């Protein structure tokens, strides 16, 4: 039997085919979780899988599973994959590269007539991004917890206000006739995910493969200042209770301090909104999102506390109220040593130069690490740019990453 080989042209053609689903004029994709575009991508992957004779399943979170049988089908599968949903102005590779690389590995095993000792399953997790419905990684988290958290019941989409549950059930129903259904969560022997680095290190150092040893912590806050809307022309300063003045003062102070005083911290305000939004009315409310990250949980605690204090101070100074809701709290995670060693052996055998690194972005693997030994492989992306339509991976880096991923899967199946 010839050893399994990655078919690079097939992988690159797949990437183009999926990039066409939700393609944006700026050359990226808008394929947000549980939208028609997301369903189209799932349907395409399902059709490709069935054409190869793989069995396809989904669970109540619409996580999609593609199964290649092994010589002992009773063993927990090796799970490989990523996500197909994207940011609203996202790139063609974030998530899709990892999912399609995992599928390419399944196809290359099948092409070579390789029968793995245990089943191998590819997964496309639901709503990794968390931009249409917060939090992120909802599919992976529900899989690991074995149920859909009650607090997601009334969740509404940021873009069109659709209810999460309606969109989830519509997505499951859309594919239902074509595939099997599974309960949420099942044992897996290990989880491996390939992803673009979404940072500049690998490209800058000319290294084709990153072995990811862990993921930094992430917290999301939703902040709303509430004051009193009033006439722009007749309300003198001493009568104003302006929530936007409080928000902008707090953000000015936080932009000036959080990242300059903590080099590894990441502080981002991605969304801001004002009501009623009238040119000649003092705002009633002013709200924003905060995305805070750091590799250490204790520093995250300290930073969150100082952010909350600064927001409260700004509210008091303008005699307005402030409400802060934490919608994401992902603790930093370290991946399994034995899995990381297996990846290093695979890299040596395949003669890949690698470097170890932690991930600045969160990933489904962060949750899977609480369920089974998990690890990730990164490939370089141009200028480290991601969550941007200009996100780009050189074709040779996509193919090299797939070769490393295949070598890693074969190492884990030994």
Footprint on this chain of ligand HGY (rule: CB under 6 A): 128-129, 136, 361-362
Structure tokens at 154: 């009334």
* Contacted by 136, from ligand HGY, Mn ion, none: CB < 5 to 8 Å by type: ligand HGY
The nearer residue to ligand HGY, 244 or 361, going by C-beta atoms, is 361
Task: Find the shortest distance in angstroms from Cβ 51 to ligand HGY.
Answer: 30
Q: Which does 125 bind (CB under 5 to 8 A by kind): Mn ion, ligand HGY, none?
A: none
Binding flag, residue 364, Mn ion (CB under 5 A):
no
Report the sign of the C-alpha dihedral through residues 20, 381, 217, 268, in that order. Answer: negative
Q: How far is the CB of 362 from Mn ion (least distance, A)?
A: 8
**For the chain, first and last CA: distance in Å?**
16
Residues in the chain: 414
d(CA 368, CA 345): 22
Whole-number minimum distance, CB 98 to ligand HGY, in Å?
Answer: 11
Which residue of the chain is nearest ligand HGY when measured via CB?
361
Q: Sign of the CA dihedral 377, 381, 383, 384? A: negative
Cβ nearer to ligand HGY, comparing 361 with 393: 361
- Note whether 226 binds Mn ion by CB under 5 A: no
Report what 362 binds from Mn ion, ligand HGY, none; CB cut-off 5-8 Å by kind.
Answer: ligand HGY
Residue 325 CB, nearest distance to Mn ion (Å)?
A: 22
- DSSP letters spanning 12-78: HHHHHHHHTTTB-TTSSB---TTSHHHHHHHHHHHHHHHHTT-EEEE-TT--EEEEE--SSTTSPPE
Distance in Å, CB of 126 to Mn ion, minimum: 13
- The residues, any chain, with a CB within 8 Å of residue 195's CB and separated by 6 or more, are 82, 94, 95, 97, 98, 359, 361, 363, 376, 377, 378, 379
378, 196 in Cβ contact below 8 A?
yes
Give, as ranges, the residues between 77 and 106 that touch Mn ion (CB under 5 A).
Answer: 94-95
In angstroms, what is the minimal distance from the CB of 364 to Mn ion?
8
- Binding partner selected for residue 95 from Mn ion, ligand HGY, none, CB under the kind-specific 5 to 8 Å limit: Mn ion
d(CA 36, CA 16): 18
Nearer to ligand HGY, 243 or 332 (CB): 332
Cα-based angle 314, 133, 249 (whole degrees, multiple of 5): 15
Give 95 or 208: the residue with its C-beta nearer to ligand HGY: 95
Which is closer to ligand HGY, CB of 128 or CB of 197? Answer: 128
Contact residues for Mn ion, defined by CB under 5 A:
94-95
């Amino acid at each position: 039997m010839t050893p399994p080989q990655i078919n690079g042209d097939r992988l690159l053609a797949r990437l183009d085919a999926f990039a066409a689903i939700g393609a944006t004029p700026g050359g990226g994709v808008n394929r947000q979780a549980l939208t028609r575009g997301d369903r189209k991508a799932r349907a395409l992957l399902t059709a490709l899988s069935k054409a190869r004779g793989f069995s396809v399943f989904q669970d109540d979170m619409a996580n999609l599973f593609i199964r290649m049988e092994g010589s002992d089908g009773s063993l927990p599968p090796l799970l490989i994959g990523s996500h197909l949903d994207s940011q609203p102005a996202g790139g063609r590779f974030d998530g899709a590269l990892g999912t399609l690389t995992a599928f390419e590995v399944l196809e290359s095993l099948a092409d070579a007539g390789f029968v793995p000792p245990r089943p191998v399953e590819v997964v496309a997790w639901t709503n990794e991004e968390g931009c249409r419905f917060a939090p992120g990684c909802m599919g992976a988290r529900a899989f690991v917890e074995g149920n859909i958290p009650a607090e997601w019941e009334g969740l509404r989409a940021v873009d069109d206000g659709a209810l999460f549950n309606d969109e989830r059930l519509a997505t499951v129903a859309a594919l239902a006739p074509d595939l099997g259904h599974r309960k949420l969560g099942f044992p897996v022997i290990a989880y491996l995910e390939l992803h673009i680095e979404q940072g500049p290190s690998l490209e800058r150092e000319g290294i084709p493969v990153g072995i990811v040893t862990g993921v930094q912590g992430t917290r999301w806050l939703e902040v709303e200042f509430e004051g009193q809307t009033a006439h722009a022309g007749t309300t003198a300063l001493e009568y104003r209770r302006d929530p936007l003045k409080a928000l902008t003062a707090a953000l000015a102070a936080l932009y000036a301090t959080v990242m300059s005083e903590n080099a590894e911290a990441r502080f981002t305000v991605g969304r801001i909104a004002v009501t009623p939004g009238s040119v000649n009315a003092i705002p009633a409310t002013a709200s924003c999102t905060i995305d805070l990250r750091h590799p250490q949980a204790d520093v995250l605690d300290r930073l969150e506390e100082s952010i909350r204090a600064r927001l409260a101070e700004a509210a008091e100074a303008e005699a307005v109220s402030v409400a802060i809701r934490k919608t994401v709290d992902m603790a930093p995670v370290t991946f399994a040593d034995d899995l990381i060693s297996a990846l290093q052996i695979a890299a040596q055998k395949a003669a890949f130069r690698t470097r170890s690194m932690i991930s600045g972005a969160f990933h489904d693997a962060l949750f899977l690490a609480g369920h089974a030994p998990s690890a990730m492989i990164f490939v370089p992306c141009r200028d480290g740019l991601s969550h941007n339509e200009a996100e780009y991976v050189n074709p040779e880096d996509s193919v090299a990453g797939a070769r490393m991923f295949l070598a890693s899967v074969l190492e884990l199946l030994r």
